[in-house]
Amino acid sequence: MSRRIYLAAPSYGHVTAAASRGIWRCAYDMSQVTVPHLSSSLLAANFNGLWCSALNDPDGVDYFAMIHSDVGPTDFWLDELIAELEDKDLDVLSVAIPIKDSRGLTSCAVDGPDTWSPGRRITMKELVSLPETFTSEDVGGPLLVNTGCWVCRFDPEWAKQCYFTINDRIVFNAATGNYLAQTEPEDWFISRLFHELKLKVGATRKIEIKHRGEVDFSNQVVWGQPFDQEYATESFIEHHFPADVQGWLTANEGQRLTELCKDKKVVEIGSYCGRSSICIAQQAESLSCVDYWDGRATPSPRSTEADFQANVKRYGVADKITMYEPDDFLPEKYFDVVFIDGDHAYESVAKDIERARHLLNADGVMAFHDYKSPCDPGVTQAVDELLAADGELLDVTNTLAVVRPSLLCPSRG
């Protein structure tokens, strides 16, 4: 497919080796890519000069992209970013990039009523809890994105109405008696123009990236010491993935569990330190956690009860959770979801399935962790037997399988 891509490369100093590689390894077919470069200390002027070059191109431009001189994406990132833009039917798609300091914040934000201060920045913890590619709808307000690594469908009709500028002012804070310097950065300024023009704006962590400084700041993992403490229980998104709680559930699996269990009565068999329990309880009506609380069938057996209780309390879900041991009574035909993630030996999983059949109501489903994982063949064997007995596989997210048991399946003609 023939396409014309402008990859703008502004700089105001040293261009890192990672950014250089990001330019010459941005796409498989570099014959489709033009790479104009401008360098000066006037950053917004560089951006505008490159934007004008695309507007003035006599042959037209299909996509305008940009990479900053301190950003290091993985090879062929531009191909992947354009594919994601088109797959999600967006006009603008930016890679979510962490700020180069220890706070664990990103350069994406949710806009607020004050031009000089966004509603809030998106943290790294929130980033891994959001969909891999997200929009304003996912964050509850106009999404402000970064221009360090981004692409847009370049339509001159709207592009000629956009430009970059950095707005600065000094204000006096009467409450403190001090003067305060305030800035509206160029990327948030143009993000606001995009929204005024009704463009569809998104951000993604699908492209792995390093923000190059004295150390590399990754957009793939949770980090940031103060933010880990301050934002553990505060978030504007419904599903807040507890990455700091020990466990093996991934962010995508956690999000699926949250969605599956919303407003449901849930049993969890195997809770460990509470990572999956927190994901479930954030949106569930109630959660009954069944465990021996001694870490058996894990790599490091130990008492986990105190850690579990502290974690669910810290994430604000303790009031929804009741703790049980395996021999305790649970009401039959009462629960909407049973999540099985206990001992992964075949015999244990099969026993948990049999118990779950008695606990589920007529519309209930089972969910299993580590299905098709090469490390846990017992889980796969037990689930496959359930499916062979006419169970219905509803969906799979990574290794999280959702199954409607055979006795609860609608009759098949």
Decide: 159 and 194 in contact? Cβ < 8 Å: no
The answer to whether 5-230 and 251-408 have equal CATH topology is no
> Does 265 score more than 50 pLDDT?
yes
Question: What pTM value is reported for the model?
Answer: 0.59
> Does 45 score more than 50 pLDDT?
yes
Average the pLDDT over 252-279 and give the result. Answer: 95
19 compared with 396, residue with greater pLDDT: 396
CATH number for the region 5-230 comes to: 3.90.550.40
Average pLDDT, the chain: 89
Q: How far apart are CA 245 and CA 80, in angstroms?
A: 32
How many residues are there in the chain? 413
Cα–Cα distances in Å, from 36 out to 33, 80, 147, 322, 340? Answer: 10, 21, 16, 61, 55
Helix (H, G, I), strand (E, B) or coil at 100: coil
CATH number for the region 251-408 comes to: 3.40.50.150
What is the per-residue pLDDT across 117-154, written as a single tens digit (0 to 9) for each? 888 889 888 888 889 999 999 999 999 999 999 999 99
Identify the CA nearest to 307 among candidates 283, 328, 277.
277
Report, in angstroms and rounded to the nearest whole number, the Rg of the chain calculated over CA atoms: 25
What is the per-residue pLDDT across 70-121, written as a single tens digit (0 to 9) for each? 899 999 999 999 999 999 999 999 999 988 767 788 889 999 888 888 888 8
What are the residue boundaries of the structural domains of the chain, listed by start? 5-230, 251-408
Q: How far apart are CA 337 and CA 359, in angstroms?
A: 9
Please report which confidence band the pLDDT of residue 242 belongs to, taking 50, 70 and 90 as the band edges.
Answer: confident
